[in-house]
Amino acid sequence: MTIRRDAGSIPFIDLFAGPGGLCEGFSHEIEGRRPFKAVLSIEKDTTAYKTLELRAFVHYFTRNGLELPDEYYAYVSGETTRDELFRAHEKAAKEAKSVAWCAELGGQDVSNSEFDSRIAEAINGVKDWLLVGGPPCQAYSLVGRSRSVGGIKNKNDISREEAEVEFSKDSRQRLYQQYLRVIAVHSPAVFVMENVAGMLSAKVDNEPIFAKILNDLRSPCEIAKSYFPELAKRGKRKKHTYRIFSFVTGKEENAENGDRFLIRAEEYGVPQCRHRVILLGIRDDFLPNVNEVGRLAPSTVKRTVRDAIGGLPKKRSSISKIGSRKKLSVAEWREYVFGIRKDSVFSQIDADVRKAICNAETKRGAFSAGGKKDVDLANWFRDGRLNKPLNHEARSHMASDLWRYLFVSAYGAVHGHSPVLAEFPDGLLPAHSNVRHGGNEAEQAFADRFKVQLWGKPSSTITSHIAKDGHYFIHPDPAQCRALTVREAARLQTFPDNYFFAGNRTEQYHQVGNAVPPYLAHQLAKIVCALFDRNRQER
């Protein structure tokens, strides 16, 4: 295969990079060229950093019009080591190590001045460059805010006002100041900042955080000095301002219209209901007369779970332990899972769902067989040189949960929605008090703690919680009776199939859940690319 060689003329830096979702989207080809080149990706998590470094290695080849080497496929298949891979391709490895940096913005181990030096070195004197990234968002999320409150006192005893006070003490909600500092010091021509939808309603010191963030980002040089007094001593330099645009409307927007910054990923071809606030900032002297930028074009087809994962090989769940046994043969696994038919709880399940369970039991084909071929997104996902899907192993589940998974997936197939606990038969309810009718808002919020993804709809939001258990991410096929694999979650996030996630399975899930969908990022990249092209034309 021949790929056009293009070294990329627009450098970009990715802060709080995670496993590299934004970086992946901006590194893809746009109309026969690769206009963006990642020169620095900063991530504090050591495992996500390893994923990031390996992907930077991949980008060396794709950006230079080269096939990925055979050694790469040997490595991701477990046939060789990372060191052997890097030794075989020293130039690519050297570049990958210079691009990916394991460091914590705002941490204790690396000073701001060291960050400044590394960023300046990466930019290498280029005036018009791009900054992307999403400051850690847990403190802005509604769940994160409730958890931070719950750690202090009983949720039943804390008021909304007290909750906001506790939220304001969470240092993570101020990490955007580090992002702001980079803008103030290094003046990118354009920046893209991503965060959770909860940012729109969050408050700090009784002040709406979103309005404050917009104000800060418009005047970063002035505002950053209040957070970082040492910046006031930097001497005379151009104090740039920025205009903040929406990718949804293509226009400048204000905090009162905050929902116009909210991107619903499922409306733009991502097979997942993921809602995020994404801001586009443009420096005052870069396209100073621009009044409107390109905007995201809604997809004509709503992509579904089936589109994303329907073609992946089938997998049966593992069972954490039954008595003294930890592994079961396929026949033994079937006997246990479908043993529900012999239990009294089976009669508590409605007839149509019972029939779906019986139908699932008759699917006795090899679990390694492929399913329905991928639709529409196949060219984005596929890599024909892979021998098998990467990171596609079923996790272990407690035996007590398997019947619940079987019921939930069969129920979803019959009724077209996932059952809440109030719709569970008594015999399958978790052993907790008040599980059917929660006595307060917190318990009611988790009434759908066992949630199946549905074939014909986009998935629910893939979050880092998938690393803890699979209860919210149950596979739609009752015959497989399990949670999503890492690869299935990655596909719902639109990571290409040759994207390898480092670490153990829990760490892999965590990376996928925290990422920006690359396919969405790619659409943002097209809009940003058009701005840089326009700037060149107007010079």
SS3 399: helix
- 198 and 141 Cβ atoms separated by less than 8 Å: yes
Average pLDDT over residues 6-30: 91
* 217-220 contact pairs (CB < 8 A, 24+): 217/180, 217/183, 217/191, 217/193, 217/242, 217/244, 217/279, 217/281, 218/242, 218/243, 218/244, 220/180, 220/181, 220/183, 220/184
To which H or E segment does residue 194 belong? strand 190-196
Which has more pLDDT, 235 or 111?
Answer: 111
Average pLDDT over residues 241-268: 97
Lowest pLDDT segment from 55-69, 75-89, 365-379, 401-415: 365-379
Per-residue DSSP letters for 139-183? TTSHHHHHHHHHTTS-GGG--HHHHHHHHHT-GGGGTHHHHHHHH
For the chain, what's the residue count?
539
For 416-447, write each residue's pLDDT tens digit.
999 998 899 999 988 765 555 444 544 454 56
CATH number for the 10-136+175-304+517-538 domain, one of 3.40.50.150, 2.30.29.30, 2.30.40.10, 2.60.40.10? 3.40.50.150
Lowest pLDDT segment from 12-16, 103-107, 128-132, 394-398: 394-398
pLDDT band at 167 (very low <50, low <70, confident <90, very high): very low
- Residues β-bridged to residue 11: 37
Lowest pLDDT segment from 64-73, 97-106, 329-338, 413-422: 329-338
For 269-294, write each residue's pLDDT tens digit.
999 999 999 999 999 999 999 999 99
Average pLDDT over residues 107-114: 93
Q: Quote the distance between the C-alpha of residue 91 and its chain's center.
A: 30
pLDDT of 234 above 80: no
Q: How many percent of the chain have pLDDT more than 70?
A: 84
- Tell me what pLDDT residue 153 has: 39
Average pLDDT over residues 210-223: 94
For 365-384, write each residue's pLDDT tens digit.
555 444 455 556 778 999 99
Distance CA 213, CA 250 (A): 19
Locate tokens 């927007």: which residue?
Answer: 253
pTM: 0.90
pLDDT of 176 above 80: yes
Domain spans of the chain? Answer: 10-136+175-304+517-538, 305-514
Q: Which of 473, 362, 464, 467 is nearest to 409 (CA)?
A: 473
Average pLDDT over residues 330-336: 86
Which has more pLDDT, 135 or 97?
Answer: 97
- 371 and 313 Cβ atoms separated by less than 8 Å: yes
- Residues β-bridged to residue 14: 41, 132
pLDDT of 1 above 60: no
- Tell me what pLDDT residue 346 has: 95
- Tell me what pLDDT residue 293 has: 96
- Tell me what pLDDT residue 137 has: 58
